[in-house]
Amino acid sequence: MFVDKVTIHIKAGDGGHGAVAFHREKYIASGGPDGGDGGKGGDVVFQVDDNLSTLADFKYKRKYKAQNGADGSGARRNGKKGEDLVIRVPRGTIIRENESGALIADLSGDAPFIAAKGGKGGWGNVHFATPTRQTPRFAKSGAPGEEWDVTLELKLLADVGLLGFPNVGKSSFISVVSEAKPIVADYHFTTLTPVLGVVSMGEGSSFVIADIPGLIEGASEGIGLGHAFLRHVERCRLLLHIVDVAGSEGRDPVEDFEKINLELQRFNPELAERPQIVAGNKIDLATDVQRAAFRGYIESKGLQYFEMCAPIAEGTREVINAVAAKLATLPAVRQYEPEEIPLEVLLKKQNTGFTVTNEEGVFVVEAPWLLRIMSRVNMDDYESLQYFQRVLLSSGIIDALRQQGVEEGDIVSIYDFEFEFVN
């Protein structure tokens, strides 16, 4: 089963809680606090696996959670870090944050991507000892791990995308120019999934070509199979448009050519501007008049045009040579740049519940939704810090602190961030 778009829920591990403990040893009175810190929660990590070619594994399992960190204990023993959860995906998978649609990663390379960070472990009470508070009887809870709904979308990594109506000879072409072995038959929609083939041009030189199935009129609006697979054309550096020049199924080759390009334009205007080479197939069934008319039409558009009979490999070498020459002049396969998830979107869509407690003069704020904001705020940047202050004010946290009796200069602790309160 070929699956190329899924939505899943990922949850990083929560940090372990800090411990409240005191040193106990014979002959040593008032040993002082020695509670250890909680362990960090495990991350959710995405890793490319070239043995995978589809997202089908995610069709039946939609929730993924990393391990929590262990709690701290006495004798200043820190809790064990939670194990990371590694999720393997095919190369070319992009990850979008589902609520905002922001693209957060393009997994085209080999580097792993941390999609959800584990929560930091809470501090044990040893951290809260001061000359005036020598026996703190409180510790920090571990921070919750990040939690996201993400959409995984596979966009094949191919240099060349094969375009054309069903049964124009795309499968035959890719089978004779590469090692790919698609099903070839004389009926519509023989190819039900994208087929990748590697075309070798000699030692150290090759390129990847993709047969994109099911492109027909109306594909961009969901008719046929084309809508489901048009996304796989988006990375291609070059488009090779195969047309049945003989009109053997009662269609006009010029209309076929225009209809496919219109579908590209409707789906993504950038695709209509992508470099394109046209190959007229089934010349053995076409008349000289048909061949000349179609050649003249394509060349009048300033496009390179070649004729071939794909099943017997007639003319295919010339097409491949032209494709290789054109690819040599084009940039590498496109990789998408990550986008920032708007802070306003994060705040708007989160539950803004929180708790404020006074722990022996330290005002502790717990608000899991706030972690997402904090992870994207630069506390050393004035404007970013001002935004964070507005978040605290608009969410009611500042008012709650005042109700708890906070005064100028008191310490406010929000997970791993501490600051002096200023009125």
Summarize pLDDT for 239-269 with one digit per residue, the tens.
999 999 999 888 899 999 998 898 888 888 8
Query: For residue 343, how many other CB atoms are within 10 A of its CB?
Result: 16
| One-character DSSP codes across 204-253 | T-EEEEEE-----TTGGGT-TTHHHHGGGGTT-SEEEEEEETT-TTS--H
Give the per-residue pLDDT at 377: 82
Q: Specify the domain boundaries for CATH 3.40.50.300 within the chain.
A: 160-327
Q: Specify the domain boundaries for CATH 3.30.300.350 within the chain.
A: 342-423
Give the per-residue pLDDT at 193: 65
- pLDDT above 50 (res 32): yes
Cβ–Cβ < 8 Å for 36, 19: yes
Give the CA angle between residues 164, 165, 169 to the nearest 5°.
Answer: 70
| pLDDT: which is higher, 220 or 400 | 400
- pLDDT above 90 (res 155): no
Give the per-residue pLDDT at 107: 95
DSSP state of 74: T
Helices (H), 97-229: 170-177, 226-229
pTM of the shown model: 0.74
Cβ–Cβ < 8 Å for 285, 293: no
Summarize pLDDT for 99-142 with one digit per residue, the tens.
888 999 999 999 999 999 999 898 898 888 877 777 888 888 88
Strand duo 5-11 + 147-154: pairing: antiparallel
With respect to CATH, is domain 160-327 assigned 3.40.50.300? yes
Q: Give the C-alpha separation, 325 to 242, whole Å.
A: 18
* pLDDT tier at 225, thresholds 50, 70, 90: very low
Give the per-residue pLDDT at 214: 56
Fold designation for 342-423? GMP Synthetase; Chain A, domain 3 (3.30.300)
Instruction: Name 160's Cβ contacts closer than 8 Å, sequence gap at least 6.
Output: 207, 208, 209, 210, 236, 237, 238, 239, 240, 323, 327
- pLDDT above 80 (res 348): no
Q: Report the pLDDT averaged over residues 348-352.
A: 57
Give the per-residue pLDDT at 85: 98
Give the per-residue pLDDT at 96: 95
Summarize pLDDT for 288-304 with one digit per residue, the tens.
999 999 999 999 999 99
Range from 59-73, 228-242, 404-418 carrying the lowest mean pLDDT: 228-242
| pLDDT: which is higher, 373 or 214 | 373
* Nearest C-alpha neighbor of 82 from the set 26, 43, 117: 43
The architecture CATH gives domain 1-154: Distorted Sandwich (2.70)
- pLDDT above 90 (res 215): no
- pLDDT above 70 (res 184): no
Rg (CA), the chain: 30
Number of helices and strands in the chain (H, E): 10, 18
Q: Specify the domain boundaries for CATH 2.70.210.12 within the chain.
A: 1-154
